[in-house]
Amino acid sequence: MSTAYVAVAGVTAALNIAAAVADFRRTGWVMTNMTRYGIPHQWSGSLGVAKAAGAAGLLVGIAVPLLGTLAAAGLAVYFLGAVVAVARARWWSHLPAPLLFLALAGVSLALSG
């Protein structure tokens, strides 16, 4: 596994773990944003699980490249959905966050092979 993958996957995993913790804790800003985007609050736990699983998969991907590739692809799809949700809600000022996560997942995916 390349040093670049390890670095990018590590940063991507760390940020997704932090985001998952915020989902699990149902922090105020997360719940406010979910309301703004029209996402049911009961999805918070499931969305956190998806982020945590993706982060774990990226880290396991250091030793098992196929899992890293699958995790990166899953996170890319997840954050593509997040970009769509934010855009549908027309909260243009909120687009940079999911776009950053999408870009990190995409770079992780590109480096995983």
Retrieve residue 8's tokens.
Answer: 């990018």
Instruction: Please report the pLDDT score of residue 83 as a whole number.
Output: 98
Q: Structural domain tally of the chain?
A: 1
Domain residue limits at 9: 3-112
- Give yes or no for a contact between 105 and 72, defined as CB atoms under 8 angstroms apart: yes
pLDDT at 27 over 90: yes
Give the dihedral of Cα atoms 70, 71, 77, 80; nearest 10 deg.
-140
| Across 83-108, average pLDDT | 97
32-77 pLDDT per residue, tens: 999 999 999 999 999 999 999 999 999 999 999 999 999 999 999 9
Check whether 28 has a pLDDT greater than 90: yes
The pTM of this model reads 0.93
Reduced to 3 states, what is the DSSP secondary structure of residue 40? coil
Residue 97: per-residue pLDDT: 97
Model confidence at 113, pLDDT cuts 50, 70, 90, reads confident
CA–CA separation, 91 and 82 (whole Å): 12
